[in-house]
Amino acid sequence: MNFKLKILSVLVLLSLNCFAMEIKQEIDPGVQSALASQFYQDLGKEAQFSVGIPEAQHVPIKNFPNLIKQLQSFAITSDTDIYIDEYYLDLALYGIQRCIIFHEAIHRKYNDLQYLKNVTNKALGLKFDSEENLKNYLKIYAEEVQQCRSFCEHRADTEGLYATQCYMCVNEYLKLQQLSFQEADETKNGISEKKMNYLGYATIDEMKKIVDNLMQQNKICAYHKINGTKLH
């Protein structure tokens, strides 16, 4: 293998290993993490029931271990638990909290983490013994990994939002995304709408259609029946 090809191979494998670490979320099963409050346990149970996960397969809602708080995420799903940043979720509107937990429940339903690991491990097992093999990887597996990621996130967003069966919940989540994208555009910080769409998350237009669809069916959760159903 020539020197140029060897360097490219190392860079490719480093990139793949970083992605493998990212989807693993760096959660060691041995790391102790406190359960989230009963409010989130109830929300997690509701979400998992709603998306069709048998009760025997339900997982608890836990707080992020300190070692992954730098991920800057409201919630993630591991092989055994759903983790949330309870401090920041507590600051959010109820509909946002609910949509985020339902999103993670969809990841659990389809075991997306294992699916992504399998795709990544397949790529990590490649042998870059020729420039042709390396080019084949760059053309096929990089696209496959990204497509799988995008597919999983888009499914978790769209199915999760529909599963809330509440147009007010989805509208609150939609407004958060709109504000986040606006701030990202104005400050050049954060994740832009274009980047989020590339990663597979539902677009603003898709979320608006879900709101409209649920509203036409008069789908509303118990919380918003009591606390108001007027869109802002």
Mean pLDDT, 10 residues at a time, over the chain (232 residues)? Answer: 44 44 47 85 98 96 69 78 90 94 96 79 62 66 80 95 98 92 77 82 96 97 86 62
* pLDDT of 15: 45
Contact 156, 106 (CB under 8 A): yes
Domain-by-domain residue ranges, the chain? 3-227
Buried b (16+ CB within 10 A) or exposed e, 131-159: eeebeebeeebeeebeebbeebbbbbbbb
d(CA 90, CA 225): 21
Say if pTM beats, i.e. exceeds, 0.95.
no
Please check whether residue 79 is in contact with residue 113, taking contact to mean a CB–CB distance below 8 angstroms: yes
Q: Are 85 and 69 in contact (CB under 8 A)?
A: yes
